[in-house]
Structure 1
Amino acid sequence: MKIAIGNDHSAVELKNIIVDFLKEKGIEVLNLGTDSSESCDYPVYGEKVGRAVVSGEADLGIAICGTGLGISLAANKVKGVRACVCSEPYTAVMSRRHNDANVLCFGARVVGSELAKMIVDEWINAEFEGGRHQRRVDMIMAIEEKD
Structure 2
Amino acid sequence: MKIAIGADHAGYRLKDVIVPFLEKEGHEVVDMGCHCADSVDYPDYSVPVCDAVVRGEAERGILICGTGIGMSIAANKTAGIRCALVHDLFSAKATREHNDTNVLAMGERVIGPGVAEEIVKIWLDTPFSGGERHIGRINKVKAIEAQAAEAR
Bin for the TM-score computed over the shorter chain:
over 0.9
Where does residue 114 of structure 1 map in the other structure?
114
> What is residue 101 of structure 1 aligned with on the other side?
101
Coordinate RMSD, CA, aligned: 0.7
Distance of 1:142 and 1:51 partners within structure 2 = 20
Deviations 1:38-83 (A, max 9, x none): 0000011111111110000000000000000101111111110000
Partner residue, 1:79? 79
Deviation at 1:11, TM superposition (A): 1.2
> AA paired with 1:76?
N
Q: CA deviation at 1:141?
A: 1.3
- Measured in 2, the distance between the counterparts of 1:77 and 1:96 equals 19
Query: Which residues of structure 2 form unaligned runs of 5+?
Result: none
Identity %: 48
Q: What stretches of structure 1 move > 4 A for 4+ residues in a row?
A: none
Q: State how far apart, in whole Å, the 1-side matches of 2:50 and 2:84 are.
A: 12
- Conserved? CA contact 1:4–1:60, under 8 Å: yes
Q: Give per-residue Cα distances to partners, 1:17-55, cap 9 Å, x unaligned.
A: 000100001100000121021000001111111111000
- Other-structure match for 1:70: 70
Equivalenced residues, count: 147
Q: Compute the TM-score of the two structures, normalised by the length of structure 1.
A: 0.98
Counterpart for residue 137 of structure 1: 138
Unaligned runs of 5+ in 1: none
